[in-house]
Amino acid sequence: MKSLETELKQLIIDALELEDITVNDIVSSEPLFNDGLCLDSIDALELGVALQKRYGIKLNAEAEETKRHFANVSNLALFVESQRQDRD
């Protein structure tokens, strides 16, 4: 799972063009929005598109569970892994 978390961190950096941030700067358990990485709603949309392109994941932006999945990198990794298993 750690390698998936690292992969997701790099995806966040690349998709959102975060030039001054490295994979090591992102703590998997810290929030992606507000206090943590300080992403906003536009970043969430861009990240959602990047996840759909990379992993073929379908997201419902209005679903409460989607907000939980996007809470931090650890939750996002669990979600991506569960989607991979569902397709197998």
Q: What ranges do the domains of the chain cover?
A: 2-87
Looking at the predicted structure, is the pLDDT value of residue 9 above 90? Answer: yes
Task: Categorize the per-residue pLDDT at 6 as very low, low, confident or very high, splitting at 50, 70 and 90.
Answer: very high
CATH architecture for segment(s) 2-87:
Orthogonal Bundle (1.10)
First to last CA, the chain: 17
pLDDT digits (tens, 9 = 90+) for 16-70: 999 999 999 999 999 999 888 999 989 999 999 999 999 998 888 788 888 899 9
Q: Residue type at 71?
A: A
Judge contact between 11 and 87, C-beta under 8 A: no
Confidence class of residue 88 from pLDDT cuts 50, 70 and 90? Answer: low
Q: Is the pTM of this model over 0.85?
A: yes
